[in-house]
Structure 1
């Protein structure tokens, strides 16, 4: 089932590929320069923080009273995504739970974005932080010509006031009240970007930056590949001007006859190898040639009976990739297969499988998220090839090694932590981004302590409110930092990760 649109009255939930309502914004010039909001970093919290064990009473007496309080308070406990706000009530974040939190708006909401690795160093702990991203917009249908690819630089990302972490800042005083800055360069596109991904090819000249390519899967059915290296360079090189010629795509893939949401660059092909999947269930591979051009193999990979929602290359095997579909399956393929058929086909859900993430640390682990709000983790070593071509109704149904039904709306994004194979970030249509620690296991005593909150899995670390949450990515060079997109961009780091 195609997921192009939300309910006509815009009151129903959006599916993973659905489009959020366009924001009510003023007309904005194509090149806006900087965005600043002097109120973005002001938070208020009326939550009372009480430390246990400081009232001098015997532990048994205090613990008994606390248990009673939990039982009595549970019906009124607010759980994001579960509890409905009363008329006139609003949510505000508790700043004591964040190390960093910034929200920045763009002229139009973005369905998809990707983080660009930079030359500022790995494992950065310096504040204010700086990062680079690229996103595709979803302008109002009446203003489709306003759509663009936005190459962005976020800077001035300071840590929260009162943060006591042992991390340094560029300035001894660490101006925690400074407003973050969003600078951007626009590449006109005239169509909505459903999903966008970045690939970088190292330069043979150490003095030059890597070549940064983007692939945008669009509503127009075309896939546009751009070289955004000059756009990134222009942020930090005064006087640099991006020319109209540099805004043009270096390749347009026209193999697809329907739009799609699945696109991924191979991490093991330095020059560039791209997979794209569409709503017809077809997958194409495009390879960059030695001369710098691109060639698309016109023979599609076929096997899915409905739209391809997500594609990911194996992080360890150069010829292998996996795809997730609204037919409820995940299939594993080998590009060397002459028959263009999947090597493995597993029925992992009775509803659409919207998103998928392949662990970079433990490469036999795969996470998936579906339309019912369930996300699960699979051990690929347990998946066995079927004998012959199996019908969808008779496909194998493997058992996940972990499964969570906490979210009550569709899962819109899932991503493993880049260095910790037990931590996963998930976003969903219930306006939340959640962080999970799969290593958490409760013993019998701890299970008793959590009896009043059985609806919340112990592996749930954190819940972050994100209106119209669509995609979430870990920053690969700033430990524990996430960027999420929805109605606006949210950049945050919690004290729990």
Structure 2
């Protein structure tokens, strides 16, 4: 099978895209060892008479040091030339695959699973924030899409020994034998605990030890996964199956209508969970000292399936939703009519699949549509219901992805950066703070000539997964991204973010 090797592509912003193409069969050429090096030969293959001839010069009196020696031709085959692999422009040939260039990654690991997982969440841990050292550790919770309903599970994964990606140091002048603990070449370790789950899991969300699952059966289950985490961390810990294998609470408000939209919020010591279904209804469930209390009256303003929900990061009574009716709506839970108070009708020309509310700059919201578009909205311009003001325009709009946007999320600490994933097998990282530089116009023209313009705000393109479903930033490991697709999980950190 041929490979298209990946190498670094400098985008107009000066960042990297890790997937480029090379000639078929792009094997890396090995650097010859000292034992393989041949002895130096005279370029003209002349026989040197003696050392004195070398010192005194030839018949014309020219000293050898004054002669210009022609370049020595390398008889070995040169490695195949690489050109940029641009998604949406270049097409892989028969039996060609993409191979990652690890020079653009600080860390990159992949994990296969028994059944595809449409959704997952990263669990906060007690190992500290702003972690930079390796090896890294991460905890995930996910749910499966098995072949039959009874085979599905909720799984908690503990990933350890996530070492820094090894780089080729063959050209390094540093011959030190000092061992760098951050760069040990060891395999990562995966441990996990599972609990049975009837029906496929459409969505998983945690807060912090409570995990909610949107089941394809139309039910929303809430589990206490603390015992599963403790069993991973405490040797000899025995799980009480009666406690952990059954949901702590099940929300039946949606009847048999399944859904995908869900978001947790914490306030005043309690928890609030929003859930939206394919029949355009949104329900609110709140925690009580004795359990959970689902409110009977739904929020109704959408006219089609509710695709995503987000609580406001600054107003605990406000949330946003998006729908297949092409709109983004803003709600106030105090509204007795359970109607939205503001909105963006026609936010996308097709279904609005996902939204994310910026936690640092609370008036910014980013949305992703079924047409592959990404739009950033200033909520200060959103029209209130009943207003005659024109529909607001996005402050930024990108059309890089060539298939539906499946997930989108702002960086947890950098207000201008967000990640997105699409059904076109791409995870993209963006920075709104990047502006086009006139000095980079030559590179931009080259990329346009290749058939497609690369937005200067596009920092990085990660590929290699099939049909990416969801992407999240790790909240405690700066720059670390985790994504899930039909063929498993990737966890990586780039050198550009």
- Whether TM exceeds 0.5 here: the answer is yes
Q: Hey, what's the Cα distance between the residues in 1 that align with 2:218 and 2:317?
A: 25
Q: Contact 1:45–1:95 at 8 Å: present in 2 too?
A: no
Judged with a 3 Å threshold, the aligned counterparts in structure 2 of structure 1 residues 452 and 290 are, in CA distance, closer, same or farther, namely same
Which one of 219, 224, 230 corresponds to residue 222 of structure 1?
A: 219
The equivalent residue for 1:476 is 475
Which structure has the larger Rg? 2
Q: Hey, what's the Cα distance between the residues in 1 that align with 2:230 and 2:92?
A: 45
Greater Cα shift, 178-187 or 85-94 = 178-187
The equivalent residue for 1:79 is 86
Name the structure where strand makes up a greater proportion of residues. 2
Structure 1 position 153 matched with structure 2 position 158: yes
**What's the C-alpha RMSD, in Å, of the aligned pairs?**
2.0
Which one of 415, 428, 437 corresponds to residue 431 of structure 2?
A: 437
Structure 1 position 179 matched with structure 2 position 187: yes
Q: Contact 2:344–2:383 at 8 Å: present in 1 too?
A: no
TM superposition shift of 1:77: 3.8
Q: Contact 1:441–1:459 at 8 Å: present in 2 too?
A: yes
Q: Contact 1:422–1:437 at 8 Å: present in 2 too?
A: yes
The equivalent residue for 2:109 is 102
The secondary structure found in structure 2 opposite 1:230 is: helix
TM superposition shift of 1:47: 7.8
Judged with a 3 Å threshold, the aligned counterparts in structure 2 of structure 1 residues 362 and 154 are, in CA distance, closer, same or farther, namely same
Q: Hey, what's the Cα distance between the residues in 1 that align with 2:447 and 2:91?
A: 17
Q: Hey, what's the Cα distance between the residues in 2 that align with 1:138 and 1:280?
A: 22
Q: Contact 2:199–2:216 at 8 Å: present in 1 too?
A: yes
The equivalent residue for 1:41 is none
Q: Hey, what's the Cα distance between the residues in 1 that align with 2:429 and 2:26?
A: 21
Judged with a 3 Å threshold, the aligned counterparts in structure 2 of structure 1 residues 82 and 190 are, in CA distance, closer, same or farther, namely farther
The secondary structure found in structure 1 opposite 2:441 is: helix
Q: Hey, what's the Cα distance between the residues in 1 that align with 2:159 and 2:295?
A: 37
Aligned length: 404
Q: Hey, what's the Cα distance between the residues in 1 that align with 2:85 and 2:266?
A: 41
The equivalent residue for 2:370 is 371
Alignment of 1:204-353 (within 5 A): 212-245=209-242, 246-257=244-255, 258-268=257-267, 270-291=269-290, 293-347=291-345, 348-353=347-352
Q: Contact 1:377–1:401 at 8 Å: present in 2 too?
A: yes
Q: Contact 1:345–1:395 at 8 Å: present in 2 too?
A: no
Gaps of 5+ in 1: 1-43, 49-72, 165-170, 201-211, 389-393
The secondary structure found in structure 2 opposite 1:381 is: helix
Q: Contact 1:223–1:254 at 8 Å: present in 2 too?
A: yes
The secondary structure found in structure 1 opposite 2:483 is: strand
TM superposition shift of 1:81: 4.4
Q: Deviations over 1:183-205 (max 9, x none)?
A: 111110021111110002xxxxx
Structure 1 position 413 matched with structure 2 position 407: yes
The secondary structure found in structure 2 opposite 1:373 is: coil
TM superposition shift of 1:182: 1.5
Alignment of 1:354-369 (within 5 A): 354-369=353-368
The equivalent residue for 1:57 is none
The equivalent residue for 1:493 is 493
Q: Contact 2:383–2:392 at 8 Å: present in 1 too?
A: no
Greater Cα shift, 264-273 or 130-139 = 264-273
Q: Deviations over 1:96-120 (max 9, x none)?
A: 0000000011111100000000000
Q: Hey, what's the Cα distance between the residues in 1 that align with 2:197 and 2:160?
A: 25
Q: Hey, what's the Cα distance between the residues in 2 that align with 1:468 and 1:176?
A: 32
Q: Hey, what's the Cα distance between the residues in 2 that align with 1:244 and 1:161?
A: 41
TM-score normalised by length of structure 2: 0.78
Which one of 199, 203, 223 corresponds to residue 195 of structure 1?
A: 203
The equivalent residue for 1:205 is none
Judged with a 3 Å threshold, the aligned counterparts in structure 2 of structure 1 residues 373 and 188 are, in CA distance, closer, same or farther, namely same
TM superposition shift of 1:387: 1.4
TM-score normalised by length of structure 1: 0.78
Structure 1 position 114 matched with structure 2 position 114: no
The secondary structure found in structure 1 opposite 2:217 is: coil
The secondary structure found in structure 2 opposite 1:485 is: strand
TM superposition shift of 1:448: 3.8
